[in-house]
A and B are shown apart, each in its own frame.
Chain A
Amino acid sequence: MKKIITLTINDQSHEIAVEPNITLADMLRYELGLTGTKKGCDTGDCGACTVIMDGDVVNSCLVLAIQANGSVIETIEGLSTDEGLSPLQEAFVEKGAIQCGFCSPGMIMSAKNLLDKNPNPTEDQIREGVSGNLCRCTGYQKIFEAIESQRS
C-alpha cells in the first residue's frame, strides 16, 4: 500500500506517494524524472547510484524510498546552477575524467562529499574517498587529478 513521504531533494520539498518496495534510486529516476542518478549493479557494489542523504553518501539502490521520509537528499542535478556546471563538475570535464559518463554522477557526488568534509585531502584520501565508485573507462587517474584540482 502506498505511503505519502515528504523529503527535500536539491533544496526543494517534495510530497510523494510511494510503494514500500521502490528504492530511492527508482523513485528519483521514475517518479521524479531525476535520471542523473544511474543504476549499474543495483546491489550496492558499483556506486553509480550514489546520492548524498542527510550529509552522507549512500547507494540509493539500497535505500527504500520510504526510508528517506524526512531526509535531505542531494543528487547530481543539484550541483549545477543557472550559471552552469559547478567548479567540481567543470574540473571533471577539463581534466578528461569523463569518457562514457555513466559513473560520473555517482563519482562526482562522492567527490563532492569528500571535499565538503575534507577540503584538502591527500592523494590516498582521494583514492579512498571514491573507492566505492567503479569506472570502467578512465582508469581513475584523471578522476583523481580532477578532484585534486579542487582542493583548497
Chain B
Amino acid sequence: MLLPMFEFHEPLSIAEALDLKKKLGQSARILAGGTDLLVHLKKKLVKTENLISLSRIKALSLITEQKDSIFIGACATMTQISRSPVIAKKFSALKSGCDNLGSHLIRNRATIGGNACNASPAGDTLPALLIYDSVALLESCGKKREIPIADFFTGPGKSCIQPDEILTGFRLPIPPDHSGAHYIQLGKRKSSEINVVNVASFLEYDPDTKKVIATRIALGSVAATPIRAARAEAAMLGQAPEEASFFAAAEKARREDCRPIDDFRGTAGYRQAMVGVLTKRTLATAYERAKGACI
C-alpha cells in the first residue's frame, strides 16, 4: 500500500513542535509510534500534507517519579512503560494494558499518547488511565492545560485536544497504601486483537473497618468512549470487600453502566455478560493486591 506524499518534520523540542503545529494548523498531523496513524494513512482513512514526528523529543518519552505522582511522557512506548519498575510496582493495571496491546512488535513502537489520542473505545491503556485518575497534560504556544482523563474522550476516535495543542504526557497520582488494581482484556485471540470487552478496577479499603473507601471501575469497548462505571462504583463504596459485594457491583456495571453494540466481534448481549464477569474478577484481584496478597 502506498502512503500519500507529505512533508516530514522532526522537531527536537516541545517548543519547536508547538511552533510547527501552530504554523501548519490542520494541514499537519502528529506522528508518535505510527502504529495507528500509518495504517490509517495507508488505508486512506485520513489524509495529511504534513507529519510532525515527536520521537526525537527526549522529554516526551520520560517516565519520572515525583513525590506524590509520576509523569509518563506521551511518547513513552508500551515496552518502555512495561519495563519501568515504578509502573510494575504501583500501577499494575497500566502495565497489564501495555503488555496486552497488539503484539510485541507493535508494543515496541506504540505510545501511550498515541493510544489516548486515537481514542478508540477499546484502547488497551485507557481503562487503566481512567482508574488511576490520570491527568492529561496539553500544551500549545504559550499555554498549558490539564484535563482529568474522565473528560478527555469525547466520542469514538475523538478527544478534547485542540488543533494547536500537543499532548505531552500524563500525570498519575501514586495510589495510596491498602489499594490495588487489575485489568483484564477479552478478545478472541491472545495477541494482535482488538478487545471485545476490557475492564479495569481500582479498590482502596480501610484495614481497620475493612470497608471499601474508594473505588474506580472503567469499562472499555462497551460505549462510545472508555467509561467509568458510576453505578457499580456507588454500589461498591462502603461495602465489605467480598464476593457478594463484588458480584452486586458487577451486576450494576452489567445492567446499568454499559451500552454495548453488536458488531462482528461480538453481540451486545455477550459484551454485557462479559462486563459482569470481568468487573467481578478485576474487583476481586484488585482487593487481593490491596491486601498485598499478590502482585
A complexed with B = yes
Q: Is residue A75 contacting chain B, with contact meaning CB distance below 8 A?
A: no
Q: Please determine whether A57 and B3 come into contact, CB atoms closer than 8 angstroms.
A: no
How many Å from the CB of A110 to the closest CB on chain B? 7
Q: Is residue B270 contacting chain A, with contact meaning CB distance below 8 A?
A: no
Q: Is residue A45 contacting chain B, with contact meaning CB distance below 8 A?
A: yes
Q: Please determine whether A20 and B6 come into contact, CB atoms closer than 8 angstroms.
A: yes
Query: In whole angstroms, what is the CA distance A57 to B106 when docked?
Result: 9
List the A side residues contacting B103 at CB < 8 Å.
Answer: 47, 131-132
List the A side residues contacting B6 at CB < 8 Å.
Answer: 20-21
Q: Please determine whether B192 and A45 come into contact, CB atoms closer than 8 angstroms.
A: yes
One digit per residue, 1 when the CB lies within 8 angstroms of any chain B CB and 0 when it does not, for chain A 48-60 equals: 0010010011110
Q: Please determine whether A57 and B105 come into contact, CB atoms closer than 8 angstroms.
A: yes
One digit per residue, 1 when the CB lies within 8 angstroms of any chain A CB and 0 when it does not, for chain B 1-43 equals: 1111111101000000000000000000001001100110011
Q: Please determine whether B35 and A62 come into contact, CB atoms closer than 8 angstroms.
A: yes
Give the interface residue-count category, chain B.
20 to 34
List the A side residues contacting B8 at CB < 8 Å.
Answer: 3, 20, 64, 66
Q: Please determine whether A131 and B190 come into contact, CB atoms closer than 8 angstroms.
A: yes
Indicate the member of B38, B43, B105 with the most A CB atoms within 10 Å: B105
Q: Is residue B55 contacting chain A, with contact meaning CB distance below 8 A?
A: yes
Give the interface residue-count category, chain A.
20 to 34
Q: Which residues of B35-66 are within 8 A (CB) of A?
A: 35, 38-39, 42-43, 51, 53, 55
Nearest chain A residue, comparing its CB with the CB of B5? A21
Q: Is residue B158 contacting chain A, with contact meaning CB distance below 8 A?
A: no
Q: Please determine whether B55 and A67 come into contact, CB atoms closer than 8 angstroms.
A: yes
Query: In whole angstroms, what is the CA distance A21 to B51 when docked?
Result: 10
Q: Please determine whether B192 and A131 come into contact, CB atoms closer than 8 angstroms.
A: yes
Nearest chain B residue, comparing its CB with the CB of A59? B105
How many Å from the CB of B191 to the closest CB on chain A? 4
One digit per residue, 1 when the CB lies within 8 angstroms of any chain B CB and 0 when it does not, for chain A 109-152 equals: 01000000000000000001101110000000000000000000
Nearest chain A residue, comparing its CB with the CB of B39? A43
Q: Please determine whether B109 and A58 come into contact, CB atoms closer than 8 angstroms.
A: yes
Query: In whole angstroms, what is the CA distance A59 to B42 when docked?
Result: 14
Q: Please determine whether A44 and B104 come into contact, CB atoms closer than 8 angstroms.
A: no
Q: Is residue A1 contacting chain B, with contact meaning CB distance below 8 A?
A: yes
Q: Is residue B108 contacting chain A, with contact meaning CB distance below 8 A?
A: yes
How many Å from the CB of A70 to the closest CB on chain B? 9
Query: In whole angstroms, what is the CA distance A67 to B3 when docked?
Result: 15
Q: Is residue B79 contacting chain A, with contact meaning CB distance below 8 A?
A: yes
List the A side residues contacting B187 at CB < 8 Å.
Answer: none
Q: Is residue B102 contacting chain A, with contact meaning CB distance below 8 A?
A: yes
Q: Which residues of A58-108 are within 8 A (CB) of B?
A: 58-59, 62-64, 66-67
How many Å from the CB of A133 to the closest CB on chain B? 8
Beyond A23-B3, A62-B38, A132-B102, list 7 extra A-B contacts (CB 8 Å): A20-B8, A42-B1, A53-B108, A59-B35, A59-B109, A62-B109, A67-B53
